Chain A
Amino acid sequence: MKILVTGANGFLGRHVVAALLARGHRVRALVRPAARLEGLRWGNPVDIFRADVRSGMDLAPAFDGVDVLVHLAASPAGGEDGQFATAVTGTEKLLGAMARGSCKRLVLASSFSLYDWSRIRGTLDETAPLEEAPDLYERDGYTIAKSWQERVTRRFAEQHGWDLTVLRPGYIWGRDHGAIAAMGQKVGRIHLVIGPLARAPLTHVENCADFFAVAVEHPNARGETFNVVDSEGERVWTYLGAHLLGTRQRGLRIPVPWRLAFLLVRLGYATVFRRNPRLPHLLVPCRFEARLKPLKYSNRRAAELLGWRPPLDFRECLARTYGSPPAPPVIALGTVGP
C-alpha cells in the first residue's frame, strides 16, 4: 500500500515510517518546509512532500496514489494557539484535501489526554468517558487541541464515509524522550514522586509505531478506537529510577502520597489561586489527575481484535532507550511535488 504519513519526521513519525517500510509499504512523508531530515533511519526510498498543514497551500497532490493516511502531525510544544492551529486547523485543511481525492482510509494519532480522568476509577480502557465542555477548557492547550482534532476527524470520516481508526497512545517514550510528566515535580536534583506506586501508561515508541503499522493493515481496525499502551502500566518510582540510571543523573527520589498532594492542590486551587487556569499544570486539579492519577491500563482490546502484543518488553525498551546508540543513519529519500 502507499501510505501518506504526516508529522513523519517527528519522534513517533520517524518510527512509524520505519515500521511501515519494514512491512513492505511505500511511504510518502509529509514534513514541514523547513524540517531537517538528517539523522532519519529510513532504509528504503521515501517520497518527501514538503508542506505545512497550517498554510493555505493545496495539499491535494500529497494524496495522489495514496491508499491510507496516517495522521500524526501535532504540536506538543508551543502555545495553546500554535497547538490548536497545527492539530485542528491543520487537520481541517488536510482532510479537506483528502476529501477531494480517492483515499478513503485514515489512521489518526489521538491521545490518552482526551479522557476525563476525574471520573475514571480502577482501569482506564477505551470505554472510559472523555472530557467534555465546559471542563475541557480547564485542561491544557494540548488536550483541547487533540480533543478538537479527534472531533473534527470523526466528523470528516462520517461525512465522507471513510474508514477511520483512532489510536490513543499513552506516554510515548524512547531514546532522548525518557522524561514524562508522570514523573512528578523536579526541584534541582530532587524528584518529588507524587504517588510513587502509581502506574504510568507507557508505550515505547517502537511498540507504538508497530501498533500504527498493524492498525493500517488489519481489517478489524477499521472504525475502531484503541488505547496504545504496552502493559497495565509501569510503576512511576521504578520508571524514574531506570530513567535516572540510564541518563546517568544523580537525583534523589522523594515519595509524596498522591492523596495528600491532590488534597493540597484542590485546596489551593479553590482558595489561594481562585481557580486560575493559567497556573502550572500540577496546580490545576484536573491536569494533576490527568498526569498522576493512580490507575491501571489495558491493551486487551488491541489483543482481542488485532492480536497485537508489544514486540518489545520493558527490559528491551530500556535497553533501546538508554543503551548504546543505534547504527549510523541510512537515508534514501525521493521527492514529489510541490
Chain B
Amino acid sequence: MTRPALKAALIGAGQIARQHLACLRQLPGVELVAVCDRSPAVAECAAERYQVRSWFTDHAAMLRDARPDVVHVTTPPTSHYRLALDALRAGAHVVVEKPATTTLEELERLLRGAGDAGRALVEDYNYLFNPAPREILRRIDSGEFGAVVHVEVLICLDILGPDGFADPNTPHPCLSLSGGAIADFLPHLASLAHLFVGPHRRAEAIWTKRRPSVLPFDEFRAVVEAERGTATLGFSASSQPDAFWLRVYGERMQATANLFETRVTFDRVRAGPKPLRPLFNGLEEGRAIRRAAVGTLMRKFRGGPGTYEGLFELVRQTYLALADSSPLPVPARQVLEVNQLVSALKPRPGAP
C-alpha cells in the first residue's frame, strides 16, 4: 500500500527558504501544502514559483487550515522560537534554520516541547551532509583515518558589504543576536566540531572587530576541548578569498576540505622511503585539487543545489526518517549538544 505523502509547509519565504522549497518540490512522498510570510507578495510569489497549494500571511491560520505534518521555519532567527513552538503545539514536526533559537534556554524549551509532543525538532546543519565531511566520516568509520585528534573549522567570508549583514540603511535581523552576524555562522562551526570530536567540555573564544562597520564583531576564534579531541573554530570577515576550510587531523590521515567548493584532499602515512612521502602526497593532492576545481565549475554550470547540496541531503534523510519512524539524521541530543557549544562560544555579557 502506498504511504500517504507527508504534508510540508514553510514559514518565512526569504532567501534560504528558496532552497528548502526547491528541495521539497522534488522530494518523492512530500506534498507542499502551504507557505507563509508576513509579506503577501513574498508568500504568493513563493507559492506561484514552487507550485505550493496555498499561501498565508498568518502562521497560526496556516497551521490551522493547512494542517502540515512538517513545518520548516526559515524566518530571521529571533522569531524561530515562537514559530517553532507554535508548530510543535499544532502537532507538526519542525525543521528549523540555524541558529534554532537565540538562547540555549529557548532551545531546551523547544526540545522539551518536541519530546512531550512526540515530534521531531531538526536544526539545519547542512554542511554535515555535504560530500566532503561524509567522505571524511567514511574513512574514519573504515578505520583508515585513525582516531580524530583535532579539527579546525575556519570560515572566511566578506560579510561587510553594504548589501548584507552590514547594510547601513536597515539593521540586519542577525545583528540582534549575541555576537551579531557571526552568531549566524556559529552553528556551522559548532556542528562540524561536534561531528568529529563530540560534545565539548570547555571552550574559550575571542571576539574582535577589525574594520569599521555596523557589526559588533567581524573576527572570531575559539579553542574547544571535547570528549574525543580538540577543535579550533574561526570566522574572518577580512581574509579573502571566501572559503570554508575544514581540516580534520587523524592518527593516520589528515583531511582538508573547502566546503564552499567540492575540494577535499587527504594526506596519509605511506609505506616506502620517508623522503618520498611529501612527493607522493603532493602529487595525489594536486590530482585531487585539479579534479575538484573542474568539479566545482561543472557544479556551477550544471545547476542543482550547489553549496546547498548538504541541505537537500539533510531534508531528504529527515523526511525518510519521519516516514519510516527511523532515527533522524540530526537527533535531538545532537541539537542540544551543538547548541550547548554555541552557547559556550557566545561573547560574555559585558564584552564590547
A-side residues, CB < 8 A to B, are 32-35, 52, 54-55, 77-82, 84, 88-89, 92, 133-134, 137, 144, 148, 151-152, 272-279
Contacts and interface: CB of A to CB of B under 8 A. Distances in A.
A108 to B, nearest CB: 14
B261 to A, nearest CB: 15
Given A34-B169, A79-B163, A81-B14, A88 B303 contact: no
Contact of A33 (B15, B41, B42, B168): B168
Contact of A148 (B41, B302, B303): B41
Nearest to A55: B170
**Which 4 pairs from chain A and chain B are nearest by CB?**
A276-B303, A34-B168, A32-B169, A52-B169
Interface residues of B, number: 19
A18 B106 CA distance: 53
A106 to B, nearest CB: 17
B169 A89 contact: no
Nearest to B16: A81
B301 A273 contact: yes
Given A80-B15, A279-B301, 20 more contacts: A34-B168, A34-B169, A54-B169, A55-B169, A79-B15, A84-B42, A84-B45, A88-B41, A88-B42, A89-B39, A89-B41, A92-B41, A133-B49, A148-B45, A151-B41, A273-B302, A273-B303, A274-B302, A278-B300, A279-B303
Interface SS of A by simple majority: loop
Contacts of A54: 169-170
Given A88-B39, A88-B41, A137-B49, A278 B306 contact: yes
Interface string B225-263: 000000000000000000000000000000000000000
B48 interface: yes
Interface string B4-46: 0000000000110000000000000000000000011110010
Interface string B37-66: 001111001001100000000000000000
B170 A276 contact: no
B39 A92 contact: yes
B42 A133 contact: no
A148 to B, nearest CB: 6
B301 A276 contact: yes
A34 B169 CA distance: 6
A80 B169 CA distance: 18
Contact of A274 (B39, B48, B303): B303
A55 B301 CA distance: 36
Contacts of B41: 88-89, 92, 148, 151-152
Contacts of B45: 84, 88, 144, 148
A144 B41 CA distance: 12
